[in-house]
């Protein structure tokens, strides 16, 4: 019984971390980069534990990221994603670091490291996990000052999909609207969780 209660308390926090690219860069010139900030709109997710599936509740939380061009088509990307749940004062923070290779302005591949930390103070639970992911992203111009992108990433702990559109507000700023769908596997107590949300954000290019 305690095992199931603890498992459910873990699940209540999960708006699972995913690779969130938001307005991808078209070139990885050395010294260039971008900063992304976004928040989720009405996030929702389902959870599975030993054959049991349930709907969980989640709070709106933000995402931050930075991408930096290294030159020769390579770049590096860091993301921080924070989540919280009402149940047992739960929280989840995820840090992701990816190396990017850009085949051309429209296609890039990525591979990297994912570290997530789960805390449930009222349940006396704190659990950290490490994993990896690899994936591919594609982008295209669909109208004047407007682009679309889609990405998929898979790893030993995570599977993530994303699709979005970005609008060039100015030379340096983009407005982004994107949808993410993520499955995070292998938490303690046999827990998997699925999340999806619409996200609104802004990108600053430098």
Q: What is the mean pLDDT of residues 18-35?
A: 77
Q: How many residues does the chain have?
A: 206
- In this predicted structure, what is the pLDDT of residue 23? 66
The span from the CA of 158 to the CA of 36, in Å, is 21
The span from the CA of 131 to the CA of 96, in Å, is 10
Q: Which is more confident, 167 or 59?
A: 167
Q: What is the CATH number of domain 2-205?
A: 2.40.160.20
pLDDT in tens, 124-171: 767 778 999 999 999 999 999 999 999 999 999 988 899 999 999 999
pLDDT in tens, 181-200: 888 787 787 777 777 888 99
Q: Global pTM? A: 0.81
Largest pairwise CA distance in the chain: 57
Instruction: Say if CB 175 and CB 142 are below 8 A apart.
Output: no
The span from the CA of 180 to the CA of 15, in Å, is 10
The span from the CA of 67 to the CA of 30, in Å, is 11
pLDDT band at 94 (very low <50, low <70, confident <90, very high): confident
The span from the CA of 69 to the CA of 27, in Å, is 8
């Amino acid at each position: 019984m305690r095992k199931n209660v603890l498992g459910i308390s873990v699940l209540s926090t999960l708006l699972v971390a995913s690779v969130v690219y938001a307005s991808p860069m078209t070139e990885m010139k050395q010294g260039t980069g971008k900063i992304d900030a976004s928040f989720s709109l009405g996030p929702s997710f389902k959870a599975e534990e030993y054959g049991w599936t349930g709907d969980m509740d989640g709070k709106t939380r933000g995402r931050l990221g930075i991408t930096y061009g290294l030159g020769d088509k390579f770049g590096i990307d860091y993301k921080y994603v924070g989540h919280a749940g009402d149940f047992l004062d739960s929280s989840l923070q995820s840090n992701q670091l990816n190396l990017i290779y850009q085949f051309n302005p429209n296609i890039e591949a990525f591979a990297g490291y994912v570290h997530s930390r789960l805390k449930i103070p009222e349940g006396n639970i704190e659990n950290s996990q490490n994993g990896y992911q690899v994936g591919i992203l594609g982008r295209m111009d669909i109208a004047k000052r407007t682009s679309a992108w889609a990405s998929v990433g898979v790893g030993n702990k995570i599977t993530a999909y994303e699709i979005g559109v970005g609008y060039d507000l100015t030379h340096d700023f983009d407005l982004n609207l994107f949808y993410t769908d993520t499955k995070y596997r292998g938490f303690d107590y046999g827990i998997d969780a699925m999340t999806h949300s619409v996200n609104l954000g802004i990108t600053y290019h430098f």
